[in-house]
Amino acid sequence: GEDVEQSLFLSVREGDSSVINCTYTDSSSTYLYWYKQEPGAGLQLLTYIFSNMDMKQDQRLTVLLNKKDKHLSLRIADTQTGDSAIYFCAETPSGNTGKLIFGQGTTLQVKP
């Protein structure tokens, strides 16, 4: 079946690194995504990784993919108060249906 799991809440201090974790069930997923949702706003695409990659870095963001364990993580370096938001992990299940399967979202709280 298709399922994506995330921890619900993470609190860090400004300047620390944040690591948000996600597990998924479909081993045939080709792409995995991270989206950010701020209050009252839409879903903003942060980054994505192809399943044949282990790591992708984009400025303060690092995505790590462990395909064997079906585990995805998003690391935010030097976390700022503006990073406070809900972060969603999403996968594209096998079959090229185009749809995304989202996790429940992780609320990141950044304390000054």
Partner 1 sequence: GAGVSQSPRYKVTKRGQDVALRCDPISGHVSLYWYRQALGQGPEFLTYFNYEAQQDKSGLPNDRFSAERPEGSISTLTIQRTEQRDSAMYRCASSLGQSNQPQHFGDGTRLSIL
Binding site for partner 1 (CB under 8 A): 4, 30-31, 33, 35, 41-45, 48, 88, 90, 92, 96-105
Q: Are 6 and 20 in contact (CB under 8 A)?
A: yes
Helix, coil or strand: residue 92: coil
Residue 64 has what DSSP assignment? Answer: E
What Cα–Cα distance (Å) separates residue 25 from each residue in 30, 34, 96, 100? Answer: 12, 16, 16, 13
**What is the rounded distance in angstroms from the CA atom of residue 106 to the CA atom of residue 112?**
19
CB nearer to partner 1: give 41 or 112: 41
CB nearer to partner 1: give 14 or 43: 43
CB nearer to partner 1: give 49 or 76: 49
CB 37 → partner 1: shortest distance, Å?
9
CB 33 → partner 1: shortest distance, Å?
7
CB 98 → partner 1: shortest distance, Å?
5
